[in-house]
Amino acid sequence: MVAGRRVGKTTLAIREACFHAKDPNKLVWLCGPSYRQMKQIAWVMLKKRLQDLRWVKTINEAELTITLKNNSRICLRGADNKNSLRGVGIDFLILDECADIDETAWTEVLRPTLSDTKGRALFTGTPKGMNWFYDLYQKGQNPEEHEYESFQFTTAQGGFVDEEEIQQAKKDLDLATYRQEYESTFESFSGRVFYGFDIKENVRQFELPQDNTIVHIGMDFNVSPLCAVCFYIKDGIVHVFDEIEIWGSNTEEMCQEIHHRYPGKKIMVYPDPACRQRRTSAGGKTDLSILQNAGFICKAPNSHDRIRDGINALNSKLCNSLGERGILFHPNVKKIVNTLSKLTYKEGTSVPDKTKGLEHISDALRYAITYLYPIKTHYNFEQPQRFVVKTGV
């Protein structure tokens, strides 16, 4: 089952687990990307449902295993330690969020557990590119693959998310991400990282206002080069007008260069979250303290967000699913334009290719955009959902 976010995948997984455990002496596994994720998302829901049904015989909190009165067992497992999944015969297996699970966890470890029992499996998840989950879905669409069936549902079809939130998501997300996360389509992210950028649409001629405009600066602390991307914000649109690359330099020199270029301006800096770490090369000072001592107002989260979330935020601001472009680049900022045009993923991965050294100046912009315009949602996708399982069914 390929489905958009908040459709009710975990709800369905627990419903199916209960259904297949109603017969005596069955072993049912719910397996997700990690042990921690399964414990946080599914464990409380599963216990409550089985206790409400009065099916529980014993609960093993340490092993996330519930034994029923008919001696069937329902277990939660994480695929992050795939070798720990060997050596059992499973009657019904549920793989939740398959796109985040290593394919070998299925092919080399879990698939053989169904052989002697003639067990069945349910695969659920939201797409993440054209990976093995896509291949499984295609098997279910192939009339010659008689052992597979596949289904696809959008977030709207799940009924948990209202139309207002879906329309807001269209504004917050770029088209490819919206289609993947909410319409459950398989989007290819194997090419350009910043597919939201279009040189014809995002590059425009404009002038830097001469009033007391705040200069916003995203900054990356790579030694060679140390990068900064400078912009101002007007009517919600980011105008990138300058870029700074200094090779073999340090943060103090970058501060001096910024003051030289923009004397008297109010400077807001959005640095790499690693700026909080002390560096022996700077006499034990942090990059954050150096920026603050230079008179800059600094905005940085306490820890790094996932790179993918930052890339999605930047793509969404470059062009959202409604075709609205929230970042404009002056023709003079050739380095950042070149990076946005050329940076690609490593082949077969969702990791940007750093072999060409293009990523540092885009990282500087990404830190700023992620802080100012994070992907928002009015729903907590980790929040347990309510559902009904009829006793005896």
Q: Are residues 228 and 357 in the same domain?
A: yes
- Residue 36's contacts (CB-CB under 8 Å, 6 or more residues apart) are 78
Contact 314, 174 (CB under 8 A): no
Q: What is the CATH number of the domain that holds 362?
A: 3.30.420.280
Pairing state between β 215-220 and 152-153:
unpaired
Pairing state between β 73-78 and 92-95:
unpaired
Q: DSSP string of 288-336?
A: HHHHHHTT-EE---SSPPPHHHHHHHHHHHHS-TTS---EEE-TT-HHH
pLDDT digits (tens, 9 = 90+) for 145-175: 889 999 999 999 988 889 999 998 888 887 8
Q: What is the 8-class DSSP label of residue 125?
A: B
Q: Residue 373's pLDDT is what?
A: 93
Provide the domain limits for residue 52: 2-158
Q: Is the pLDDT assigned to residue 328 strictly greater than 60?
A: yes
Q: Are residues 131 and 233 in the same domain?
A: no
User: What kind and span of H or E run contains 35?
Assistant: helix 35-38
Q: DSSP string of 153-191?
A: E-HHHHSSS-HHHHHHHHHHS-HHHHHHHHH------SS
Q: Is the pLDDT assigned to residue 342 strictly greater than 90?
A: no
Is residue 170 situated within a structural domain? no
pLDDT digits (tens, 9 = 90+) for 62-72: 999 999 999 99
Q: Are residues 204 and 115 in the same domain?
A: no
pTM: 0.56
d(CA 181, CA 173): 9
Is residue 359 situated within a structural domain? yes
Pairing state between β 297-298 and 152-153:
unpaired
CB burial of 199-229 (b: ≥16 within 10 Å; e: otherwise) equals eeebbeeeebeeeeeebbbbbbbbeebbbbb
Q: Are residues 150 and 225 in the same domain?
A: no
Q: Are residues 206 and 310 in the same domain?
A: yes
d(CA 195, CA 355): 19
Q: Are residues 66 and 140 in the same domain?
A: yes
Q: Are residues 214 and 344 in the same domain?
A: yes
Q: How many domains does the chain have?
A: 2
Pairing state between β 297-298 and 327-329:
unpaired
Tokens for 297, please give them: 């107002």
Q: Is the pLDDT assigned to residue 379 strictly greater than 70?
A: no
Q: Are residues 110 and 31 in the same domain?
A: yes
Q: What is the 8-class DSSP label of residue 252?
A: H
Q: Is the pLDDT assigned to residue 321 strictly greater than 70?
A: yes
Q: Is the pLDDT assigned to residue 392 strictly greater than 70?
A: no
Q: Are residues 151 and 255 in the same domain?
A: no
Could you tell me the end-to-end alpha-carbon distance of the chain, in angstroms, rounded to an integer?
21
d(CA 152, CA 138): 11
Q: Are residues 118 and 213 in the same domain?
A: no
Q: What is the CATH number of the domain that holds 35?
A: 3.40.50.300
Tokens for 288, please give them: 């954050």
Q: Are residues 9 and 151 in the same domain?
A: yes
